[in-house]
Amino acid sequence: MDKQNLPEPFMDFENLQEGLTAETVAPFKQHISDLLHARDLIFEQKRDALAAAAVGSMPYPPISAEARELIESGALCLLAEGATPYHPRYVAPDYAKILREGSPFLELQPAQNLFDATTSLLTAYKYFPAGGLPVFIGRLDELLEPYIDSVSPETARQVLKSFWLLVDRLNPSGFVHADLGPAASKTGTLLLDVDRELGTITNVTLRYDPQHTPQEFALKAVSNALAVTKPYFLNHPAMAADWGKDYVIASCYNALPLKGGIYTLVRLNLKKAAEMAGNDPERFLDEILPQISKRWTEVIASRARYIIEDVRWFEDNFWIEEGLLDKSKFSAYAGVFGLAEGVNHFFQNKAGYGHDPAANRLAERITTRIHEVLEDNPVIYCEGTGGKACYHAQVGITSDLETTPATRIPSGEEPELYEHILTEAPTHKWINGGISTILEFDQTAAQNPAAVLDIIQGAFKAGIRNLSIGSANSEFVRVTGYLIRRADLEAHKAEKALRHSSAALGSGVMENHPNHLHRITRKV
């Protein structure tokens, strides 16, 4: 297989069958040299990139020729996880247990007060066992509320402010994610306050339940979202119906069980998949998707197996030994993206997804059919989601040139607000592993956050699981699912080194691929 046939985000030297070969040593060395000499990466970023290059030099675990073809064609994408995953992609540790009981490995005592609790959390984040970043930092209001009265209100505010600053400065990425709600709390209110004040990059989700989240707390969250594009508004009743109450949101907007993890995210490019069906949507639904799903789940299983059976990740791992993670709650994501292009492939020269009722119906049928074929193909080690891969809508990466993230209508082509919501809502129905719709408001919204809350509630009634709210005035730019600071984006273009790795990821998306980006200048 020629290296140049591999789609991005593979590196030039990667070879799925053989790993590093005599022919690919030269491009490998060049890649390493480029990293060593990069002017716009700081030490940590170089170290991480060097580690990724090492993994990329390995051969892929054995898979069928058909599965390998789908990867090589780009229909299935491994999202730069590397040929040989040596850790899960996401985990959701039980931080409450660390606060309650301490951690022998981390040499932490049970927390007695707010100082102890925040120190223990920051310590635990440092040792986060997946993906190089603590992509889940806890349901923070629940975690810290038991300690909030251990100090005076003013001290509590100062401690949370320092904590929130350190979360960002030690883990500078829009993929680092905290959860709040559905109940209001002193901690939740303080965290919303300091998040707005500090303007850090850390991502936040409010698990919103119109029946149980107090209006005042929800309105505060809306005001924050309009100012700093977070928190996300998650349809907690809909998510709890699928997951029970012990689920979390990590990274962009990814759902997984508390104490669980996600081994891998293997995503299906629906544009490329649709093209395999010629111009016959029924063939796509009846033949192509069932065929692909066999290989898709095979790839997912091969990666889970490698982590468990080959690398033996669960053994000699203090997170497991101390009961902070539980193997029975792990699963893997089967992600989809480019639904818009997949649908529009069958509506050439017509209005298409978001504008043609027939296209919208096909979008709904495709997302439903994928749920069915994933149900038909059990995946080993996915006990956390009933032995089936977890269905996820993936937000896209810099190298996606011709596809729209997840199940979204292409940015700039969205119909009027309610139609936009009602078109995307049916595609949220089965995708309980993470999906979001982006809504952006003009400056009148800041004076009337209750109006935005009306629309959020209407969207939830329509079946939307997760909403990202923003306004044209925000200092953040939400690229697909993660955040970057507007100022960082400008600096990245000027090739300055930055703490935020997500800015580098977002920059290419901003400049080259408007399909990914909800353009900030456009008013809804």
Partner 1 sequence: MNNNGMNEPLGIVNHILKKSFVDGPGNRAVIFLQGCNFHCLYCHNPYTINHCTACGLCVETCPQHALTLGKDKIFWNEDICVECDECIRVCPESASPRTRTYTPAELWQEVARIGPFITGISVSGGEPSLQVPFLARFFQLVKENSDLTTLIETNGFAGQQAYTDMLPWLDMAMVDLKCSDPDKHLELTGQPLDTVLESIRFFAAQGKLQQVQQVIAPAYTDQAADMQRTAGLLAGIDPSIHLRLLRFRPHGASGPAAQWQSPTDERMDALVETARSNGLTSVERSL
Structure tokens belonging to residue 195: 């998040």
Give least dist CB 455 to partner 1, A: 5
Q: Which residue, chain included where needed, has tokens 């039980």?
A: 94
Stretch that binds partner 1, among 54-62, 171-179, 333-341, 439-447 (CB under 8 A): 439-447
Structure tokens belonging to residue 408: 């979204």
Which of residues 395 and 464 has its CB atom nearest to partner 1 in the complex? Answer: 464
Give least dist CB 204 to partner 1, A: 24
Residue type, 15: N
Count of chain residues binding partner 1 (CB under 8 A): 21
Which of residues 268 and 453 has its CB atom nearest to partner 1 in the complex? Answer: 453
Give least dist CB 425 to partner 1, A: 11
Please tell me the distance from the alpha carbon of residue 165 to that of residue 176, in angstroms, as a whole number. 13
HSE-CB of 170 using CA atoms within 13 angstroms: 18
The C-alpha angle 116, 120, 124, rounded to 5 degrees, equals 175
Give least dist CB 365 to partner 1, A: 23
**Residues of this chain, 441-460, that bind partner 1 according to CB under 8 A:** 441, 443-445, 447-448, 450-455, 457-459
Structure tokens belonging to residue 99: 């606060």
**Residues of this chain, 456-485, that bind partner 1 according to CB under 8 A:** 457-459, 461-462
Which of residues 459 and 503 has its CB atom nearest to partner 1 in the complex? Answer: 459
Q: Which residue, chain included where needed, has tokens 């649709």?
A: 274
Which of residues 354 and 449 has its CB atom nearest to partner 1 in the complex? Answer: 449
Q: List, in order, residues 6 or more apart from 309 with CB less than 8 Å away.
A: none
Q: Which residue, chain included where needed, has tokens 């629309």?
A: 455
Residue type, 4: Q
Which of residues 300 and 455 has its CB atom nearest to partner 1 in the complex? Answer: 455
SS3 of 257, please? strand
Structure tokens belonging to residue 200: 């850090």
**Residues of this chain, 405-424, that bind partner 1 according to CB under 8 A:** 416-418, 421
N residues, the chain? 524
Q: List, in order, residues 6 or more apart from 241 with CB less than 8 Å away.
A: none
Give least dist CB 522 to partner 1, A: 16
Which of residues 450 and 487 has its CB atom nearest to partner 1 in the complex? Answer: 450
Q: Is 339 in contact with 363 (CB distance < 8 Å)? A: yes
**Residue 216 interacts with partner 1 (CB under 8 A)?**
no
Q: CA 384 from chain center: how many Å? A: 18
Give least dist CB 500 to partner 1, A: 32
Which of residues 458 and 508 has its CB atom nearest to partner 1 in the complex? Answer: 458
Give least dist CB 444 to partner 1, A: 4
Q: Which residues bind partner 1 (CB under 8 A)?
A: 416-418, 421, 441, 443-445, 447-448, 450-455, 457-459, 461-462
